[in-house]
Amino acid sequence: MNTLKKTLAEMQAEIRDCLDAVSDQAVEQAVEDILSAGKIVLAAAGRSGAALRAGAIRLRHLGLDAYFIGETSTPPLGPGDLLIVGSGSGRTQSVLAQAVKAQQAGTRLLLFTIHPASPLAESADTVVVIPASSPKAEGPAQAKTSIQPMASLFEQCLFLLM
């Protein structure tokens, strides 16, 4: 097997193993949260933001009232609405500030993260833990390794789950 195919096979195995470890119950709750929401706004920074921006488009294609935060067409959130956040660390400051503001307006919070014991996870209504490796990992997640750089595994799994 050539080097590229071997590397791709390893990456596929990492993604499969990571997604297999995601709680079915948490994903089912996330789906329920999404389907029962009025407006849906997705928020994340960096490459996680790219994954959730694509997720917002997918949700709109499914007929849901979904937006990515910061766009000129993004409406304000309130009771009955949902903010979906992606943060591997669970402590991204810009996203944390957006979550606090949304929750003050009565919005529910759905979080995708590596860290179930983080500031965002503590305030979220639903948490989907993606047990990926990351340089920011703490606790048991710190022991995980990946052939991929930085938090690529988290971002790929986030993209697939959305």
> Looking at residue 151, what is its pLDDT?
72
Whether 28 is in a domain gets the answer no
Question: Which residue from 18, 19, 21, 22 is spatially nearest to 127, judged by alpha carbons?
Answer: 22
> Looking at residue 9, what is its pLDDT?
87
Helix, strand, coil proportions of the chain in percent (round to 5)? 50, 15, 35
Whether 7 is in a domain gets the answer no
Whether 14 is in a domain gets the answer no
> Looking at residue 88, what is its pLDDT?
87
Whether 30 is in a domain gets the answer no
The C-alpha atoms of residue 75 and residue 81 are separated, in whole angstroms, by: 11
The C-alpha atoms of residue 12 and residue 10 are separated, in whole angstroms, by: 5
Whether 17 is in a domain gets the answer no
Contact 105, 122 (CB under 8 A): no
122 noted as active-site residue: no
**Full pLDDT tens readout for the chain, 162 residues:** 689 898 888 888 888 988 999 999 999 999 999 999 999 999 999 989 999 999 999 999 999 999 999 899 999 999 999 999 999 888 899 999 999 999 999 999 999 999 899 999 999 999 999 998 766 655 555 546 775 656 778 899 999 998
> Looking at residue 138, what is its pLDDT?
57
Whether 16 is in a domain gets the answer no
| Domain span holding position 141 | 39-161
- Per the structure, the count of domains in the chain is 1
> Looking at residue 2, what is its pLDDT?
86
**CATH number of the domain where residue 94 is located:** 3.40.50.10490
The C-alpha atoms of residue 55 and residue 76 are separated, in whole angstroms, by: 19
Ramachandran bin of 31, using left for φ above 0, alpha for ψ from -120 to 50, beta for the remaining angles: alpha
